[in-house]
Structure 1
Amino acid sequence: MKNVILLLFAASLLWGCRKENENVSADPTDENQVNAPLLSWWQPKAGVTFDWCLDDLKASDTFTAEVVDVDAFTTTAAQVAALHKQGKKVIAYLSVGTIEDDRPDANLLPAEVIGKIYDEWPHEKWLDIRKPEKLQPWLKSRINMILSKGFDAVEPDNIDSYDNDSGFDISLDDTKRYCDYLIALAHQNGLGIGQKNVPELADTYSKQFDWVLTEDAFADKFQDDLKSYISLNKPVVAVEYTDRTSQSSFSSTICPKAKSLGYFALLKRRSLEKWSFNCQ
């Protein structure tokens, strides 16, 4: 009987610790907050429906998809909670490879890590991801903000600086080391995290990221590079853009291919406002 009582006592302590970790309240000003590890995070399964909207959300906005990917900064905690009440999982879109000139946290980055202007997005500048220790206060602040708003996961954008004129000599191996850091940072805080583009990572990193989100994978013909995610029952979300693919071509050509591969395909305007069209 003593042994049974001791086992029950130990189990109650373990359960209490788990609940304490699950209900931790993130303080965006506390750098140590991100060091409190959680025991699990949201891990979606292949086949989940998805929507992506980086416009400011309105109170009247509703989504039919099970998962909604929205801007980490402009989306409020109340809006995240409202989406949760609708039964949605909510992903925070976040740049981790550039700094945008309209974000309030640029002062957390030392000048030495800020590089050239991103040609396609002139309000952003590339960052030197070879020095994650220099980026750490900035990244932790962003993660704490995401935690404080109640997001379920992170979409880390702009991890492809190795393939751009960033002003730094960044290699694919540097990118992999940075991904290792980002994945650990997200998971130790109970957040899911997805791979964004960079198909070269898929075979290895499908085991570490929780899903993959691509842009124009079918238009650029790298869709087959993502199959390892499906083999692990993890989602592949293939977003195609209307400036490359018409709605009729999307329906007649891409949708059958996506379905055969087990991907969720979504047609969006490149501005990523509310409008979406997916395979029926």
Structure 2
Amino acid sequence: MAEKPAATRARWSLRRKLLLGTALVVVVLALALGLGLGLTLGKDNGGGDNGPQPTPTSAPLPSPSGSLPWKPKVNDTWQIVLLNNIELDSDAKSVTPNVSIFDIDLFDTDTDTIDTLHRLGKKVICYFSGGSYEPGRPDSDEFEDGDTGKGLDGWPGEKWLKLSSDNVRRIMKARIELASKKGCDGVDPDNVDGFQNDNGLNLTADDSVSFMSYLSNITTPLNLTMGLKNAGDIIQQVLPVVDFSVNEQCVANVECDTFHAFIDAGKPVFHIEYPNGAGDDLEDTTVEHYCKDEGNAKGSEGFSTVLKKMDLDGWVEYCDRNTETTAMNQTDPSH
């Protein structure tokens, strides 16, 4: 073959370099896309084959129906009454106090009361114990011997639950479905902090994180908002799948800074303290102790604070010194 002229060889060499450069770019892009795809497919939000995990995002996710569940906001006003069902006529024109949200018992509250609260423009969070057995509940006889551990201090007959139990989870699923059927806007599952107590079941923080993820997978399709009750040690792990905090006594325990992570994430902290003398108008110094963002209350800025009696009846005092009492029926509580 005749040798190419020098000019032709130069053009051929340049063309070959351009082709090689283009090929190199294609290879790099292909590798990058393949690596990104592999990382996406390999992500499991928790490691291993642990089944579906909640999406780690604090933004509201649509339910399968395409609608967005209600989400409470920072500084929303509220009242919590668990001792008895609140007394409210179906044709009531108002309810005391005039707050945005009522946290009331899932079992003790009838559907008519929830409907009336909705007609009055209120949102309803339904309370149930997610991590403890309570005697006297309608489904109490469904728990098995292996489901329960030690008793809860100060609550006779109440016992910690094994959160990984299939039977316990089945019962809690039914409770959430009942909340949806009754028309609750959200749920407040209590006692998910067994790992921080002498529970007799060797419960760990991972057990509570897994349990909250399980509950979230039920509430989301039902358009129910869900909160974390206390359990400050797992806030960072479950913050993406819960919409609010219900905290008891962070001032008394000097740990409000821990729960301020919710406020930082744009989610409210519904904060309860049980001061001595609750039930009567409290002293100014007492209210300031629990309501000012300083001293033992440091970190409580932005919290929706209520001062209550330990039995969580209708009496409440707010940080603005307003005292109200929600009327309750006079029947004995079922728990």
Give the CA deviation at 1:112: 1.3
The answer to whether 1:249 aligns with 2:285 is yes
Cα offset for 1:244?
8.8
Instruction: Tell me, yes or no, if the aligned pair for 2:260 and 2:300 is still in contact at 8 Å.
Output: no
CA RMSD of aligned residues (A): 2.0
2:85 is matched with 56
Secondary structure at the aligned position of 1:136 is classed as helix
Q: Which whole-Å deviations, capped at 9, do the CAs of 1:56-78 have from their partners, x for residues lacking one?
A: 21126533110000000010000
Q: Does residue 234 in structure 1 map to residue 267 in structure 2? A: yes
Give 1:140's match in structure 2, choosing from 151, 170, 173. 173
Counterpart of 1:242, as a letter, is P
Amino acid at match of 1:146: A
Unaligned segments of structure 1, at least 5 residues: 1-35
Partner residue in 1 for 2:149? 115
Kindly state the Cα deviation for residue 249 of structure 1 after the two structures are TM-superposed. 3.5
Deviations 1:122-144 (A, max 9, x none): 1312111122x222321122112
Once residues 229 and 256 of structure 2 are traced to their aligned partners in structure 1, the CA distance between those partners, rounded to angstroms, is 13
Aligned in 2, Cα 1:168/1:247: closer, same or farther, shift over 3 Å? farther
**Partner SS, residue 229 of structure 1:** helix
Deviations 1:159-203 (A, max 9, x none): 011122222011111111111111222112110000100111223
Give, in whole Å, the separation in 2 of the partners of 1:187 and 1:128: 23
SS in structure 2 of the partner of residue 261 of structure 1: coil
Distance 1:76 1:57 in 2: 10
Contact persistence 1:192–1:210 (CA under 8 A):
yes
1:216-227 equivalence runs, <5 A: 216-227=249-260
SS at match of 1:52: strand
Given the alignment of the two structures, is residue 93 of structure 1 paired with residue 127 of structure 2, yes or no? yes
DSSP-derived class of the 1:51 partner? strand
Name the counterpart of 2:310: 270
Deviations, residues 213-263 of structure 1 (Å, cap 9, x unaligned): 100011111100112211221101111002398653342233221797211
Q: Give the structure with the larger helix fraction.
A: 1
How many matched pairs?
A: 244
Task: Structure 2 unaligned segments of length 5 or more: list them.
Answer: 1-62, 90-94, 321-335
Distance, in Å, in 1 between the alignment partners of 2:263 and 2:149 is: 36
Letter in 1 for 2:210: R
Question: What secondary structure is seen at the aligned counterpart in 2 of 1:41?
Answer: coil
Residues 1:200 and 1:267: Cα distance change in structure 2 (over 3 Å): same
Q: Determine which structure has more spread, i.e. the larger CA radius of gyration.
A: 2
User: Shift of the alpha carbon at 1:99?
Assistant: 1.4
* CA distance in 2: counterparts of 1:203 and 1:192, whole angstroms: 18
Distance in 2 between residues matched to 1:148 and 1:139, nearest whole Å: 14
The one-letter code matched in structure 1 to 2:202 is D
Code of the residue aligned with 1:58 in structure 2: it is E
* Residues 244, 212 of structure 1: alpha-carbon distance in 2 compared, 3 angstrom cutoff: farther
- Offset from partner CA, 1:29-79 (integer Å, 9 cap, x none): xxxxxxx94443221111111110012211265331100000000100000
2:110 corresponds to 1:76: yes
User: For residue 162 of structure 2, what is the aligned residue in structure 1?
Assistant: 128
Structure 1 residues 70 and 82: CA distance shift in structure 2, 3 A? same
CA distance in 2, matches of 1:37, 1:114: 34
Contact kept? 1:95, 1:156, Cα under 8 Å = yes
Query: Under a length normalisation based on structure 1, what TM-score does the superposition of the two structures give?
Result: 0.81
Give the CA deviation at 1:119: 2.2
Does the C-alpha gap of structure 1 residues 153 and 111 become closer, same or farther in structure 2, counting only changes over 3 Å?
same
Structure 2: how far apart are the matches of 1:111 and 1:124? 13
- In 2, the alpha carbon distance for the partners of 1:53 and 1:64 equals 14
Tell me whether 1:169 sits opposite 2:197 in the alignment. Answer: no
> Quick one: which of 213, 230, 233 aligns to 1:200?
233
Identity score, percent: 31
